[in-house]
Amino acid sequence: MKYRSRETRRMAAFAGLLAVAVLVLPVGEAAAGTIRSQEHSFTPVKVVEGLEHPWSLVFLPDGRILVTERPGRLRIVRDGRLEPRPVGGLPQIVARGQGGLLDVVLHPAYGENGLVYFSYAGPGPGGLGTEVARGRLAGDRIEDLQVLFRMIPKTESGHHFGCRLVFDRAGYLYITLGDRGEMDRAQLPGDHAGSVIRLFAAGGVPPDNPFVGRSGWRPEKFTLGNRNIQGAALHPRTGEVWMHEHGPQGGDELNVVRAGVNYGWPVITHGVNYVTGTKIGEGTHKAGMAQPLHLWTPSIAPSGMAFYGGDAFPRWRGDLFVGALRGQMLVRLRLEGEQVIGEERLLAGVLGRIRDVREGPDGRLYLLTDARNGALVRLDPADPAVR
């Protein structure tokens, strides 16, 4: 295959070693007893179960919740109940390896236009690639579907699709992509893989994107040198997009998305090759390539993240929460500007692989567990003073 690498084969072998945890408690009951953390006590409560490898969620203004399932279904949770019929009208989605239906977000003016955006693995010449589409939610269907972005080139690899979607305060859409398990692609100017893409909300390239007008460069690219970005969120004070990405075997990174920055993969990394443990690239530092704000070694396999700003857990305000797959936990990071000054690991081994984390309109944190019988779990405060 044109882009297949040794790391792709090692990733396939490693993926088979990951355990999948399944929640079996009745819906509405506590998924665990009271958890005491450094700042708050809380109780995980299962909202719904029966989700097949859920990947992302978003809250609608009318109280409903949209949840994506990686096999290609968009589900509705209404009044604590999973609607039996998936949402219709989605594009052709291919569920293979780590690909399928991935992120879902609302247009910043959703109340006026009803537009829902979602990312997924779509077919095309050469195989599969990450795509982004939008449409209007009308009842239980997506109407007026438009495909806004298609990754080029597509390949048969089943690894590293990304893909989180974030709108910034100016209304630009950021799309985070993986290297498709073919690591050299992350440094190629004419390849979308291993980068962050920045578009207008309706599609099209903003003229101030950093590589516009440069010969051989994809103008949609906003960054390069990224391995597999599965978490992104807008900083509530600065308005900048933050992201995290998987390292190969250690070296998971937390970064801020900035125009034209090369984040180094695979030239520099703090991780090592799977199985052999040998060095990747040239080392851990190189001029012109960014260093991460924070690292995890060994890897926690981060996926999904959210800044917290609610009232349910007042001493968590301003903290960054990261779900972990391999670590099967929720990580809380205390921040001072762009410096991580503390880390707390919560729910280790309690719920299983945490795929996504979001703050709800009620100020609670909501988690998705990545399993064949996955669940939507809410964290309720157990501190008497803040209930």
* pLDDT the model gives residue 383: 81
Q: Which residues contact 238 (CB under 8 A, 6 or more apart)?
A: none
DSSP 15: H
**Which helix or strand (DSSP H or E) is residue 6 part of?**
helix 6-15
Report the distance separating Cα 366 and Cα 146, nearest Å.
29
pLDDT at 281: 95
295, β-bridge pairs = 253
Provide CATH code, domain 6-386: 2.120.10.30
CB 172 within 8 A of CB 198: yes
What is the Cα–Cα distance from 243 to 13, expressed in whole angstroms?
26
User: At residue 166, does pLDDT exceed 80?
Assistant: yes
How much is the pLDDT for 385?
Answer: 62
Integer-rounded Cα Rg, in Å, for the chain is 20
**More confident site: 385 or 110:** 110
Q: Does 11 score more than 90 pLDDT?
A: no
Cis peptide before 266 (omega within 30 of 0): yes
Alpha-carbon distance of 328 to 174, in angstroms, equals 27
* pLDDT at residue 275 in the model: 86
Rounded distance, CA 172 to CA 266, Å?
28
Task: Kindly list the catalytic residues.
Answer: 160
Task: Report the mean per-residue pLDDT for the chain.
Answer: 92
Residue-wise pLDDT for 39-56, tens only, equals 999 999 999 999 999 999
| pTM confidence score | 0.92
Six-digit token pair at 293? Answer: 């704000």
Q: Does pLDDT of 19 surpass 80?
A: no
Instruction: Give the Cα separation of 320 and 336 in Å (integer).
Output: 11
Task: Tell me the residue ranges of DSSP E strands in 52-100.
Answer: 54-59, 65-69, 73-78, 81-82
Count of beta carbons in the 10 Å neighbourhood of residue 86: 16
- The DSSP H or E segment spanning 113 is helix 110-113
What mean pLDDT is predicted for residues 180-189?
98
Query: Are the C-beta atoms of 371 and 53 separated by less than 8 Å?
Result: yes
Pairing of strands 320-324, 329-336: antiparallel
The span from the CA of 129 to the CA of 150, in Å, is 7
Phi/psi at 6 (5° precision): -60, -35
* Measured distance CA(220)–CA(237) in Å, rounded: 26
| Element (DSSP H or E) covering residue 139 | none
Residues 1 and 155: their CA atoms lie apart, in Å, by 8
Residues paired with residue 200 on neighbouring β-strands, in sequence order: none
Query: 72: alpha, beta or left, given left = phi > 0 and alpha = psi -120 to 50?
Result: left
CA–CA distance, 79 with 96 (Å, rounded to integer): 32
**pLDDT, mean of residues 323-352:** 97
* Residue 18 pLDDT greater than 50, yes or no: no
The whole-angstrom separation of Cα 348 and Cα 113 is 40
